[in-house]
Every structure is written in C-alpha cells, then in structure tokens.
Amino acid sequence: MLDQGTAAPATEPPAPKASALSVLTRRKPVEALVSEGGQGEGGSLRRSLSMWQLTMISIGATLGTGIFVVLGEAVPEAGPAVTLAFVFAGLTALFSALSYAELAGTIPVSGSSYSYAYATLGELVAWICGWCLLLEYGVSVAAVAVGWGDYLNELLDGTIGVTLPAALSAPPGDGGVFNLPALIVVVLAMLFLLGGAKESARANTIMVMVKIGALVLFCAVGVMGFKSGNYSDFMPLGLESVGAAGAILFFSYIGFDAASTAGEEAKNPKRDLPRAIMLSLVIVTALYVLVAAVAVGAWDWKKFAGTDATLAAIMNDVTGQSFWGTLLAAGAVISIASVVLTVLYGQTRILFAMSRDGLVPKVFGRVNPKTGTPRANTVIVALFCGVLAAAIPLGELVNATSIGTLFAFALVNVAVIVLRFTQPTMDRTFKVPFGPLFPVLGFLFCGYSMYSLDVITWVYFGVWMAVGLVVYFLYGMRRSRLATAEK
C-alpha cells in the first residue's frame, strides 16, 4: 500500500493502435528486401546463374506459347494484321520490361513484381500483385502443358503412326477423362527443378536453342509457300481488331519477367537482370513477328478459323510431306517443355518470397541445404499445376491469366514512378529513359489491353481477386512478418 505522499509509479502509455489504412499500406524497406536475399527456412538459395542463363530463362518462359498455342486463335481476330497485333503486344510488354529492368537491377530479389510493390505501394497492393502472379504463372503452366500434349500426339502420329486416346489426352469437358501428357510434362519439369537452379538452367538453355532452331526451320520452309495475295487486304476486320488480338497475344509474352524471379540466384543480379530482361524481349518479339508473317503468307487467314492451325499443319500443307511437320512437332514438344520448366521455376520463387514475408505458409520458404532449392515448394506447386492441367478444362482461365499479368505489369510501372520520388538517390544500374513518361505509357498500354478483353474474363478475374482478398484478410494480414514485428 502506498503512502499518501508517495506518487504512484509512472506507467507507459499504451502504444497507439495502428489504423486500418496504415496496416494495409505498411511497406517493407528496400534494404530489408535486399539483405534477406537468398535466405530461407533451413538453407539459402545459391547464386549460380550467369547473364546468358538468365536470358535463356526469360526466353524459355516466353517463346512458345504465342506461336505454338495461341497463334491459331489470334489470326481469325485480326487477319493478316496479326503481325501488327504481335508488335502491339510486344510494345505493351516493352514499356513494362523497361520498368522491370530498372527495378530488377535495384531490388534483385526472388519476388519479382510482388517484392517491388511491397517496397513501394504497401502490403495490400503487394499481396494483390502476388495473387495475380499466382494466376499468371500457375494457370499458364497448366495451359502450356495442355498444348504440349497436342504436339506430342502429332509427333507420335508422324513417327510411329499412333496417338494417345482422347480419354487420356484431354481433360473432362474437352472430350477426355484425364490429360496424362500434361501431367507428365509438369512432373518432368519438377524433377529438373529439384536437381538445382544451375542444372535446370543448363537443360533449359539446350531446349531454348532447339525451339529457336525449330522456328527458324519453319520460316525457311514456310516462305516457299508464301503468297503475297494473302496480304492484299491487310486489316480486313478493322483497327479495333488489332487491339483485341493484341490482348489475346499478350498471353504469349507471359514469362519475359521470369528472369526477375531469379534475383537471388544470379551471380551479378544488379548488372545481369536488366540486360537479360531486355535482350530476351527483343529476341522473342522478332521471332514472333517473323513466324506470324510467314504463317499468314503461307495460309490464307480465313483458313485459321475452325481448323487445327498449328505450325506443323502449315508446313505439311506447304511441302505436301508429313516429314517437316513431324520434325517441327518434335521441336514443339521440346520447346513447350522449356516453357513449363521456366514458368514453374518462377512460380516457386515468387511463393518463396511471399513465404519469407509470412504471407503464405512457411513450407514454401524451406530450402533444401543439399540442392539449394525450395523442395517442398516445388513439389506442391508442380502437383497442383499438373492436376489443374490434367483434370480441369481451362477455357477462359487462359484469358484470365492475361488480365492478371497485365494488372501486375501495370503495378510495376507505378512502382518505378513511386520509387523515383521516394528514393531518388538510390543506386540504379539501369534507368527507364525519359523519366516517368515510359512507365506512364506502360501503365496506359496495360490498361487498354485489359479493357479489350471480354466481360467474362473480367468476371473470372473479379472472382479470383475476391478469393485472394479473403485469404489475405483471414491469413496473410495477421501472419505477415511486418505484422508480428509490430506486436
């Protein structure tokens, strides 16, 4: 009991409660992001990737989907102007690629645009960006795996005269029961990734060279059937159709940012990541436009509607022999496998970064000390994507992938502008030219491409975002490392 003349001991005033807005906009300092680079539960990622291997990762993740899978869908939308649509989609990607290059050289971490948003726009926006990336990478792995099965059947038919039965080569709703080839290619990619980043990069480099050779072969053979009359009416469906086709073809540029997910495994990330991103985009765009121009020159654009318009089918038609188409199908089987490998790699590294921040379970951040890879993460993601590809009709989810990607790219352009104003003196190994102009153009191009997509695509995207917000408010917001540090 205190004497009457004795003052009560002073008590610390309770810490003010963080407002809801401050919780949602809390940011992770750039210095913290960089200092944590490579560190995971039980081990760390290994810096083993050169600039050449980073470039091959981006090309491997990008080159293939647009030409081998989506070209047949885009030509009926725009006619011969599909070449212009590829340029439009490439320009949309270019402005965003410049922003990616600046941020990858400044914040060289595994989280890609998710981490960039965390440092500049706050936790809620970072979560939304990461959730979009899960859609971008996860669904695109599944979609590309489905396309791989189609070309595998062409290869089997051309070599041994048999094909897999529809029941085992298509998911329910698409005439089958279970798409076995799609599951197989995802599992094979998983096994490569479990061996280590350096080993996976070597395998990917070989596959990328094969796919470039296959596309050059197509151009060399396809040009023999080139008919200038096929370009007599270059834009038969109007200028608006070019924008619509460009939005579809943007799916073919998904993956050029894959090098940015290797920020913690690159030998010299500040120097090499910007170079790899820009070089890969230039190579991919040039090949896309060249192959599309030859394809439409060899086939009247109206033939693409309602037909199995693969590059192999075009080569068979031009030469009158099945040999060339079979050879191209073999190239496509290897080519699309490299897309699955590198996009799956990117997905695991984004989840690795989100796990380290506490926004997804810790299992995704555990690193095997022997191989330097997030083993459990890789197995979980591969099995999820494999089952998605094998058992669920993707349909409009492919377009939902494009809108999720465009949204993430738009945020990267905003992040560049924010970081320029908040930390103008930060060391940048690459800077987007013309100040904020190019990032603003990148944001506007992404917005226009999103606007050009169908209403049903927006519906799917809205549902996906709603689910993501529920997960964040029930799990991520409370378990975030920034949240636990505040307690």
> pTM of this prediction?
0.84
| Residue that wins the pLDDT comparison between 409 and 398 | 409
Domain boundaries, position 400: 40-480
Average pLDDT of the residues in 300-310: 75
Residue with token string 């029961």: 177
Average pLDDT of the residues in 318-335: 81
> Is the pLDDT assigned to residue 448 strictly greater than 50?
yes
Query: Considering the domain boundaries, does residue 409 fall inside one?
Result: yes
> Is the pLDDT assigned to residue 9 strictly greater than 50?
no
Query: Considering the domain boundaries, does residue 311 fall inside one?
Result: yes
Phi, psi torsion values for 365, nearest 5 degrees? -105, 5
Q: Structural domain tally of the chain? A: 1
Contact 445, 89 (CB under 8 A): no
> Is the pLDDT assigned to residue 21 strictly greater than 70?
no
Query: Considering the domain boundaries, does residue 16 fall inside one?
Result: no
Query: Considering the domain boundaries, does residue 9 fall inside one?
Result: no
Q: Where are the alpha helices (DSSP H) in 427-476?
A: 437-451, 455-471
User: In this predicted model, what pLDDT tens digit does every residue of 211-241 receive, in sequence order?
Assistant: 898 889 889 888 888 888 888 888 888 888 8
> Is the pLDDT assigned to residue 1 strictly greater than 60?
no
> Is the pLDDT assigned to residue 377 strictly greater than 90?
yes
Average pLDDT of the residues in 458-466: 88
Closest by Cα among 440, 427, 465, 49 to 258: 49
In what helix (H) or strand (E) does residue 44 lie, and over which residues does it extend? strand 43-44
Average pLDDT of the residues in 452-464: 84
Helix axes 455-471, 123-159, angle to 10 degrees: 120
Lowest mean pLDDT among 12-21, 301-310, 467-476: 12-21
Q: Which residues, other chains included, contact 100 with Cβ-Cβ below 8 Å and sequence gap of 6+? A: 112, 113, 256, 257, 260, 277, 412
What's the pLDDT score for residue 229?
Answer: 87
CA-to-CA dists, residue 422 to 26, 33, 417, 426, 431, angstroms: 15, 16, 9, 9, 15
Query: Considering the domain boundaries, does residue 257 fall inside one?
Result: yes
User: In this predicted model, what pLDDT tens digit does every residue of 340-362 receive, in sequence order?
Assistant: 888 898 899 899 989 989 999 99
Query: Considering the domain boundaries, does residue 307 fall inside one?
Result: yes
What's the pLDDT score for residue 382?
Answer: 92
Q: Which residues, other chains included, contact 324 with Cβ-Cβ below 8 Å and sequence gap of 6+? A: 217, 221, 312, 315, 316, 318
Residue with token string 């070599």: 159
- Quick one: pLDDT band at residue 190, thresholds 50, 70, 90? very high
Query: Considering the domain boundaries, does residue 2 fall inside one?
Result: no
Buried residues in 57-77 as b, exposed as e (16+ CB within 10 A): bbbbbbbbbbbbbbbbbbbbb
- Quick one: pLDDT band at residue 34, thresholds 50, 70, 90? confident
What's the pLDDT score for residue 2?
Answer: 41
What's the pLDDT score for residue 19?
Answer: 58
What's the pLDDT score for residue 136?
Answer: 78
What's the pLDDT score for residue 16?
Answer: 46
Query: Considering the domain boundaries, does residue 437 fall inside one?
Result: yes
| Residue that wins the pLDDT comparison between 92 and 357 | 357
- Quick one: pLDDT band at residue 245, thresholds 50, 70, 90? confident
Report the CATH number at residue 414: 1.20.1740.10
| Residue that wins the pLDDT comparison between 287 and 44 | 287
